[in-house]
């Protein structure tokens, strides 16, 4: 009993402080209770939320008892603010004052705040999804009907008390705290305590999505445009009929931001004619969905592709896989597994054909891992590299694997067009090459060529004409071979090397064949270096 008395004393102290301040007259407070506004929304309206909200014992019945002692209207016995129906707040729909859990199914838990029960559910959701959390940010989404009802109550108060000396609409609007901000003030300290982590502008986000289907459907039907009307659909006989439940759900999926914008565009006079003032009592609370999302992390390095039967990305045609595997899957799946991510995206600085090996220092790449549960340590990143490099098939190897920032992705995209690439190509010529041929080829420096989109990729790329630079070339004869040579060359990024060798029926000019005045074919191709300054 002593503990209960102490709690009641705390509530009374808050109420006396509010009554002595610029708080509105008690009869106005009492009237808000009577139209179904919860205690926390009342204090939110009048700028007293920050010091009143933490008090667990400050309930509607406690506030009513205080009013009975100080307000003649409450003493008259004509009050219906403590009706027996199971109503929730007509503004926040129970979001700010959720129902208490019960320890034995009979009596509510007085020692635990309902908000603490909500944060326990949040903590359980984070633990259930297995997230490693060192800091968090809280995102809250509320149904637009809450904002509509909030406005309806404020307009109702203006109608009822606008002529009273104490009522100042400007001050009333300025001191009112939004439901979302009030909920954040309630939840953040509780979540910090429950999870033993700090709130901040962090990559790990806890999102609370509150919905109220019935209230939202009523709101949409009231909106003065097509968004509020039930859509007509055609029946099988061609006649029109009203939208079904599925239609309503589709309408409800429209963005709350758009609905709120529509509400903001309605003048007060029109709003009064469209909406009930005050709003009707709410018999169902909001439904809460908790989701956790971490911003993508990036693991980068350079890869070597040692097989001529492995594509860079997963390549499937008519449900049939092309090649044995892909670089994307070999690296991406190993990274995702260690990070416990929902998925991944593979980004590389250019690409090579499935039959082209990537050798030398390797091609820069990034794996963007989505919604990871665990940020990998340097040791775990090395474990990923070891697993890939020690694979029995030896299709792919990685170098300098590391956790990097998202800025590397931008740098890779910006540097992709400027980079130089070196190749080694096994070619065949229709005649033996002379020493003069080999010497003349080696003299070529920074030669410009023009390439139309190759015939082999016209089905998936726009027909364009591109200018590219061949920085240098060297040709060496393969000992013991007839008309077989090894062509080494360095080119601007985006050069089609195969077409540069054989000419692509004149679509690349000049070509190696044209320069040597013979037919030239490419038999094998390797990328031997990708010159970029990062992820070395």
When mean pLDDT is compared across 57-61, 348-352, 403-407, the lowest value belongs to 57-61
Tell me, what's the pLDDT at 509?
A: 96
DSSP annotation of 102: B
| 250-to-220, 231, 298 alpha-carbon distances in Å | 12, 10, 36
CB atoms within 10 A of CB 293: 16
pLDDT confidence band for 80 (50 / 70 / 90): low
Residues of the chain with CATH 3.30.70.2510: 296-418
pLDDT tens readout for residues 106-154: 333 334 567 788 888 999 999 999 998 889 999 999 999 999 999 999 8
Residue 194, classed as helix, strand or coil, is: helix
Is the pLDDT reported for residue 374 higher than 70? yes
CB 60 within 8 A of CB 33: yes
pLDDT, greater one: 438 or 33: 438
Inter-helix orientation angle 144-161/26-34, to 10°:
140
Please provide the DSSP assignment of 104-116 as one string.
SSSSB-SSS-HHH
pTM: 0.76
**Catalytically annotated residues:** 353
Beta-strand relationship, 508-509 and 343-348: unpaired
Tell me the mean pLDDT in the region 470-489: 93
For CA atoms 44, 16, 281, 273, give the dihedral sign: negative
Residues of the chain with CATH 3.30.70.3190: 421-530
Q: Which CATH class is domain 421-530?
A: alpha beta
Is the pLDDT reported for residue 403 higher than 80? yes
Tell me, what's the pLDDT at 327?
A: 97
CATH topology for 296-418?
Answer: Alpha-Beta Plaits (3.30.70)
**C-alpha torsion angle, residues 511, 515, 518, 522 (rounded to 10):** -40
pLDDT tens readout for residues 198-233: 998 788 999 999 999 888 888 888 886 654 444 443
CB atoms within 10 A of CB 372: 24
């Amino acid at each position: 009993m002593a503990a209960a008395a102490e709690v009641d004393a705390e509530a009374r102290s808050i109420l006396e402080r509010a009554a002595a301040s610029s708080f509105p007259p008690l009869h106005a407070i009492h009237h808000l209770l009577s139209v179904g506004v919860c205690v926390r929304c009342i204090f939110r309206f009048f700028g007293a939320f920050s010091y009143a909200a933490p008090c667990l014992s400050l309930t509607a019945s406690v506030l009513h008892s205080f009013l009975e002692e100080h307000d003649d209207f409450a003493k008259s016995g004509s009050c219906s603010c403590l009706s027996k129906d199971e109503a929730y707040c007509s503004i926040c729909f129970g979001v700010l004052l959720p129902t208490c859990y019960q320890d034995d199914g009979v009596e509510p838990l007085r020692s635990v705040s309902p908000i603490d029960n909500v944060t326990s559910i949040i903590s359980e959701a984070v633990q259930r999804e297995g997230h490693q959390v060192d800091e968090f940010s809280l995102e809250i989404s509320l149904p637009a009907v809450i904002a509509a009802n909030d406005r309806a109550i404020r307009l109702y108060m203006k109608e009822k008390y606008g002529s009273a000396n104490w009522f100042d609409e400007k001050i009333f609007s300025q001191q009112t705290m939004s439901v979302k901000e009030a909920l954040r003030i309630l939840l953040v300290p509780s979540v910090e305590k429950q999870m033993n982590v700090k709130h901040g502008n962090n990559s790990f986000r806890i999102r609370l999505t509150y919905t109220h289907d019935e209230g939202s459907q009523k709101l949409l039907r009231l909106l003065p445009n097509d968004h509020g009307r039930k859509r007509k659909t055609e029946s099988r006989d061609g006649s029109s009929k009203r939208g079904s439940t599925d239609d309503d759900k589709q309408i409800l999926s429209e963005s709350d931001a758009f609905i709120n914008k529509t509400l903001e565009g309605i003048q007060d006079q029109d709003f009064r004619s469209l909406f009930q003032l005050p709003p009707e009592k709410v018999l169902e609370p909001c439904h809460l969905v908790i989701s956790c999302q971490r911003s993508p992390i990036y693991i980068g390095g350079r890869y070597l592709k040692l097989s001529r039967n492995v594509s860079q990305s997963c390549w499937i045609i008519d449900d049939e896989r092309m090649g044995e595997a892909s670089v994307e899957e070999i690296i991406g799946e190993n990274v995702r597994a260690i990070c416990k991510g929902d998925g991944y995206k593979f980004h590389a600085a250019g690409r090579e054909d499935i039959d082209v090996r990537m050798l030398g220092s390797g091609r820069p790449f990034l794996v963007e891992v989505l919604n990871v549960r665990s940020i990998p340590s340097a040791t775990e990143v090395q474990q990923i590299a070891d697993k890939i490099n020690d694979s029995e098939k030896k299709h792919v190897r990685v170098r300098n694997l590391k956790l990097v920032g998202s800025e590397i992705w931008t740098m890779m995209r910006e540097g992709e067009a400027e980079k130089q690439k070196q190749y080694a190509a096994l070619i065949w010529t229709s005649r033996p090459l002379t020493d003069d041929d080999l010497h003349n080829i080696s003299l070529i420096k920074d030669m410009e060529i023009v390439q139309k989109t190759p015939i082999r990729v016209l089905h998936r790329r726009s027909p364009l004409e591109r200018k590219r630079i061949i920085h240098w070339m060297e040709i060496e004869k393969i000992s013991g071979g007839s008309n077989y040579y090894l062509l080494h060359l360095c080119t601007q990024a985006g050069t089609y090397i195969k077409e540069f060798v054989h000419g692509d029926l004149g679509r690349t000019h000049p070509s190696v064949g044209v320069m040597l005045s013979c037919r030239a074919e490419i038999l094998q191709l390797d990328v031997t270096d990708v010159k970029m300054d990062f992820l070395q």
